Every structure is written in structure tokens, then in C-alpha cells.
Chains A and B, each alone.
Chain A
Amino acid sequence: MGWWIPLRSIWRNRRRTVLSIGIIALGTAVSFFVLGFVESSRRLIQESTVHEYGNLQIGSPDLWNGTADSYDRLIPPDAVAQIEAALAEEPTLVGSTVQLQFPGLLARGERTQVVRATGVVPGNGVLEFNDLVFIGRGLAPDDRAAILIGRSLAEKLALSPGDAITLTLTTVDGAYNASPFTVAGVFRFTSEAFEQQVVFMPLGYAQRLLNTPGVDRVIASLSSLEATNPARQRLQSALRGASLAVDVKTWDELSPFYRQLSSYFSALFGFLSAAVSILVFFIILQVLTLAFLERTREIGTLRAIGTTRAQVFRLFLAESAWLAVVGSAAGVVIGTLLGLGFNAVGIEWRPPGTVEPVRLAVQLGVATAAVPFVVSVAATLLSALFPSIEAARLRVVDALRVE
């Protein structure tokens, strides 16, 4: 049957058609806008998380299984060399570095703060946090007892670059050790907790303080977020081949905060999308039922001149499909315009627990539009199912009697 017949039919009552398309478009636009916002926020957090953890971290299983206080987790230099050799074969690798993290107590006079001290290779170009320093300077390769502290910690302990502080720690042998440090610079980060609890120092000096040549993780930076999982697969099989007892973790596995937030975002969008779809479903159901009731006699005529029930069903469903596609496409256009407008305004917001405001944005594009488009089309077709079935089931003589 001609595709143009259902298209022509939907314009028989222009006001109702415009109303239907408007409702579908509005639902699609709202879903698209919210999803775009959610995806944009998720992307920001992904990038921030990768900045903190790298794409991949390779370490002993003990490092992540709750026994992290034990220095048994440390990777000896020969194993590090093997891991780095395996990483060198990874095509998406941008760079790699090593870290040594350990707990310590930072003190300045009477004021103290428990910190997660992190020994980093200054100038490694992968994950050194020097680019976050906004007061003072970053760590240099020839630094020894220099330390980078977060802005919140600097405020808490009233520290500035050049100030002296003391770090107390336990060596790998279980002995107490303490060392004076000079604050080289103050860094800022999106998370207040990170700024308050993490400090950076040269890896060589950290190893000397802990009395070990080992590190606790090798960190890999990859060309993109999307490269993470394939690279992990390749690396895992390579390391298994080398009989190294290490695990490879991805950035999202390392960040419970990201996982929780990502689940929350998904639930938020799922709830909103479901609510909008249900609303669209019932409104369109009502509109289509009314439209089909008005055409009972016409349905009788169609059936009387040889149209089968299946053809009537397809005809009415095709009308709804046109409505769904036109309405959803209009919704994507409206959502895009709303998103462009929102992005142009440049609204900033400081999320709870963070110190830097982030610029709110709506992620636009085909990938983001696809889900709301498909959901709206599905909701509309679903709402058309009942009236279409009813139309197809009408008895011809009964339908023809209707005035």
C-alpha cells in the first residue's frame, strides 16, 4: 500500500496532528536535553577521574583487596621493567609512570593532618600533577625533600611555598621515620578531599624514606578513554604470559565515586525518560483513540472494499509512525537549539565536595540524540498499538453504520 496514504491521513485534522507532534517533540526535547546534560557531566567526571588515576593502573592484587597497608604489595624493580616492556607494545599507549603511595602524618607545629603521600617521577609527562600547581612551582627531577600540597591543606595548615613541614611515616621494615620537607607549590583539584589528603613528593625520596626500591603501581596513559578496555585486555594477557602476579585496573574501577555518580546519572535519566515516555504514551493514546473513533465509518469502508485487518492495522500504525518520526525529529531539533542556547550562556556551578566551579554544558550530537529519539518513537508506536488493533478488529457492518 502507498506510503503516502498514512502521511496524507495524519494531516486531515491539522490541529490534532500539530498537538500530537508537539507533545512528542516536547518529550523528546526534554529527554535529549537532560541526557545531553548528564552525558556532558559524566564526561567531565570521567576526564577528571582519568587525570587522577590514569587510564590503567597495574599493581599487586593486594593493592586493591583491602590489605593496602602491607608493603608486600610493592612491585620490585625487575617486575616494573617487565610491566613497562609489556606496556611498550600497547599501540594506544601515550606514556607510563610509576607511583609509590603510603600513609603519613604531616605536621606543622601543633597542626597535623593524615595524608596519602605519593611519590611521583617529576617530569614524567603522564601523571605528575605539576600542571595543577597554581602557587609556587611543580616538582623538578633533581628535587629531594620537596613537596606539593593541595590548596585546602595549605589553608588548613597555613602553608605557603617555601614553608617547612614534617612528614612522619612507617618504613617497609616497620620502623618510624620522619623527614622535613619544603613546600614547593600548592595545587588545586576538583575534589576538596583530594586537596586535603594527597601530597606529592619525588619518587626517589619517597623510596628512600620507606627504605625500598619498589613502587606500588605502574600507571598508563592512553590515547583516549575508549581505548581503556581493549588495552586492558591486551595488557592482561601479555602480563599473564610473563607470569607476573599483578592486576590491571581501569580508571572507573579505581574510582568508587565515579561508579556511584555514573549509576546515579543513569538512574536519573532512566527515571526522567520513563516519566516523559509514560506521559507521551497516555496523551498520544488518547489523541489517537479519538482520531480512530472519528474514522470508524472510514475503516468500515476500507474493509468493505477489500482491505484486510492486517492492512488496516498497518495503515493506522504507519500513521502513528509518521507522527512518531516527525515529532521525535522535531524534538531533536528543539533539544539541539535548547542545548546550544544553554551552552552559549555558560552557566557555572560548584558541585558539593569540590573547590572549583565547573561549567555546565549539554552534550549534543547524534549519539546523544539517538536514545531519546528511539524512546519517543517506541512510546508513540506503543500508544498506537491499542487503537490500531481496535481499528483492525472492527466488524465491517458495525463500522459502516457509524455516522
Chain B
Amino acid sequence: MGEASRFCHFRGERLLEASRLTKIYRVGGEPVYALRDVEFVAPQGDFVVINGPSGSGKTTFLNLIAVIDRPTSGEVYIEGEPTSTQSEGQLAALRKTTIGLVFQSFNLIPVLSAAENVEYPLLLQGSERSPRRARVAAMLAEVGLSELARRRPSALSGGQRQRVAIARALITGPKIVLADEPTANLDSETGGAVMDLMRRLNEEHCVTFVVVTHDPAVSKYAKRRVRILDGRLEEGGDHGMVDSAS
């Protein structure tokens, strides 16, 4: 591990925090608890893998901490600020600047090239053309896709698409990247490569990663493992570093 990783690891800052987070869905008029009084804290530079079976509440939890959904009760704090009182516009601004998202199905815009997909969040921020393009080129180089910058998503493999999605999530320099089943649509080798990349970026950019997955193989990339079951989080595994190469 380099200087950055030692520096980032567990700085103690409560970058992302969930307090008594509860989400109840109504199914046929009956309340169903997707999450129940969840407590969660992730400091800057952390790499948390949340593991759990289907229907355990992983994606619901991710949606809440990604501020794309609102809890039934409880609170999500981003950089110490409560989010429940923020407007839709303020939450969109948070997602634009502070949170990067990586999806299971990549969710790239099919009519845009790899470079344009990565460029899109910068367009939202109103960045100048010249530095914007330079930043996109650098980010694509970082994820190893410089040669494929002009290709549309349909002309990329699953692993390449997920790399584009990761580049898109990181391009604005967010403090938090949330990934929902990032390896689910990839074969094990490609999935491993994607996780290697995310772990490397975590180290190099000091970005907090929260990855939810049902894939046990992803856990080995975690600095911290958390298990989710029936809407409750349980700390699992050690809090130590795991070699990104392992």
C-alpha cells in the first residue's frame, strides 16, 4: 500500500452515516420492513462491502444512502449534514458532486460514446470544454479505456462498460462511490478485474467505496465487511486491509 492508502485508511471522519434508518414498504396494505433501525458509518477512504442474499435489503439501503430514495424514518448524513430536510434539487446536487453511483447493469447512455458518458456529469456541472475533455481523457486512461473512448456502449464488453461506469462515477471527484452489484453481470475474471480497479481507485483517490453484493468473492476486496439480513446490518469480518491484488 502507498502513502495515500495509509493516509486514507480510517481517518475517522464520519463521511457517510446512517442513523436508525428504517424503510417500510406496503404490500397489500401490510407493512413490510425492508430496513429496520440500521446504523452505519463510513469514514473517508473506507472500502465497505455489504453482503447479503437477495431480498435482504441491500439495494434499499444503497438507494437510501445514495439519497435517491427517502427513508420511512431515520436519517442519512453526508459529511455530517442530514439529508431528510434537503430538497430534491439539493439532493441532486449532492449526487452530482459528492456521490458517485455504479450500477449492476452499467446504465450507460446508449447514444453516447464511452468518453461522452464519462463527460456527462461534468456537463451537468458546467465545466469548461477544454479542461473537461482533458479530465475525461485522463480518467479513461486511468481505467484503461483510452483506446475505446469513441466507442458506444453497445460496442464494449461488459467489463469495459463497467469501467466506463466507474469512470463516470469518479469523474467529478466524489468523496463517496456507491456500487450496486457491480460484478453481477460479469464473469468472475472480469468481475475480479473491475473490483481490482475499484480498490485501486479507492487507494489512489482516497474515495470511500460502499459496494453491495450477493457475491461472496467480492468480500475479499473489502477493508470492512458488513452483512445485511432481513433488513438489519451486522458488522462482519475484520476491519483490516485486504490486499487489492488478492
A residues at B contact (CB < 8 Å): 1-2, 5, 8-9, 11-12, 297-298, 301-309, 311, 395-397, 400
| Chain A residue with the shortest CB-CB distance to B94 | A306
Q: How far is the CB of A390 from chain B (nearest CB, A)?
A: 16
Chain A residues closer than 8 Å to B172, beta-carbon distance: 306
Lowest 5 CB-CB distances: which A-B pairs, in order? A306-B96, A396-B68, A301-B107, A306-B95, A397-B69
Given the complex, which residues of B lie within 8 Å of A400, measured CB to CB?
68, 103, 107
Which of B50-58, B85-93, B203-211 participates in binding chain A? B85-93
C-alpha spacing A305/B116, complex, angstroms: 14
Contact of A306 among B63, B111, B116, B121 (CB under 8 A): B121
Q: Which residue of B lies closest to A298 (CB)?
A: B109
Select B68's contact among A12, A297, A304, beta carbons within 8 Å. Answer: A304
Give chain A residues whose Cβ lies under 8 Å from the Cβ of B123: 1-2, 5
Chain B residues near A303 (CB-CB < 8 A): 68, 92
Q: When the two chains form their complex, are residues B124 and A5 in contact, meaning their CB atoms are under 8 A apart?
A: no
Least CB distance from B173 to A in Å reads 13
Bound complex: CA of A197 vs CA of B112, how far in Å?
A: 74
B129: min CB distance to chain A, Å: 9
Interface pairs (5), CB distance under 8 Å = A1-B124, A2-B123, A305-B96, A305-B169, A308-B88
Provide the B123-135 mask, 1 if CB < 8 A to any CB of A, else 0: 1100000000000
B-side contacts of A2, CB under 8 Å: 123
B63 contacts A305, CB within 8 Å? no
Residue B18 interfacial (CB < 8 Å): no
Return A293 CB to nearest CB of chain B, in Å.
16
| Given A305-B121, A396-B68, 5 additional A-B pairs, CB 8 A | A12-B110, A304-B107, A305-B100, A306-B93, A309-B89
Complex CA distance for A345 and B175, rounded to whole angstroms:
71
Complex CA gap A305/B92 in Å reads 8
Is the Cβ of B110 less than 8 Å from the Cβ of A306?
no
Give the nearest-CB partner of A12 in chain B.
Answer: B111
A134 to B206, CA, bound (A): 98
A5, B92: Cβ atoms closer than 8 Å: no
Q: A301 — which chain B residues lie within 8 A by C-beta?
A: 103, 107, 109
Contacts of B96 in A (CB 8 A): 305-307
Give chain B nearest CB distance to A126 CB in angstroms: 65
A117 to B135, CA, bound (A): 88
User: Inside 8 A of A305's CB, which chain B residues have their CB?
Assistant: 95-96, 100-101, 120-121, 124, 168-169
B66 at the A interface (CB under 8 A): yes
Report the separation of the CA atoms of residues A311 and B68 in the bound assembly, to the nearest whole angstrom: 16
Give the Cβ gap from B15 to chain A, nearest Cβ, in Å. 18
Which residues of A sit under 8 angstroms from B169, Cβ to Cβ?
A: 305
Q: In the complex, what residue of chain B is closest to A403 when comparing beta carbons?
A: B105
Tell me, in angstroms, the Cα distance from A396 to B66 when the chains sit together. Answer: 11
How far does the Cβ of B170 sit from chain A's closest Cβ, in whole Å?
12
Q: Is B219 an interface residue (CB 8 A)?
A: no
Is B44 an interface residue, CB under 8 A from the partner? no
Chain B residue with the shortest CB-CB distance to A2: B123
Residues of B within 8 A of A309 (CB): 88-89, 92
Residues of B with C-beta under 8 A to A304: 66, 68, 95, 101, 107
Query: Which residues does chain A contribute within 8 Å of B63, judged by CB atoms?
Result: 397
Judged by a CB distance under 8 angstroms, whether B97 is at the interface is: yes
* A8 to B124 Cα, complex, angstroms: 17
Which chain A residues lie closer than 8 Å to B97 at the CB level?
306
**Bound Cα distance from A73 to B124, whole angstroms:** 76
Cβ contacts under 8 Å, A9 to chain B: 111
| Interface contact B112-A5, CB-CB below 8 Å | yes
Nearest neighbor of B129 in chain A, beta-carbon distance: A2
- Chain A nearest CB from B28 CB (Å) reads 18
**Across the interface, do A11 and B111 meet the contact criterion of CB distance under 8 Å?**
yes
With both chains docked as a complex, state the minimum distance between the C-beta of A197 and any C-beta of chain B, in angstroms: 70
Cα(A400)–Cα(B59), bound, Å: 11
A321 CA to B68 CA in the complex, in Å?
A: 29
What distance in Å separates the Cβ of A340 from its nearest Cβ neighbour in chain B?
Answer: 37
CA separation between A179 and B121, bound complex, in Å?
Answer: 95
Which residue of the partner chain B has the closest CB to A395? B69
What residue of chain B has the Cβ atom nearest to residue A308's Cβ? B92
**A304, B88: Cα distance in complex, Å:** 11
Q: B100 — nearest CB in chain A belongs to which residue? A: A305
- Complex CA gap A5/B112 in Å reads 8
A307 (CB) vs chain B CBs: closest residue: B124
Interface hits, B147-206 → A, CB 8 Å? 168-169, 172
Taking the closest CB of chain B, its distance from the CB of A82, in whole angstroms, is: 70
Give the nearest-CB partner of B110 in chain A: A12
Nearest CB of chain A from residue B161's CB, rounded to whole Å: 13
Q: Which residues of A contact B68 (CB under 8 A)?
A: 303-304, 396-397, 400
A-facing mask of B67-101, CB < 8 A → 1, else 0? 01100000000000000000011001101110011
Across the interface, which residues of A come within 8 angstroms of B109, CB to CB?
Answer: 298, 301-302
A312 to B, closest residue via Cβ: B92
- Chain A residues with Cβ below 8 Å from B93 are 306, 308
> Nearest Cβ distance between residue A124 and chain B, in whole angstroms?
70
Q: How far is the CB of B98 from chain A (nearest CB, A)?
A: 9
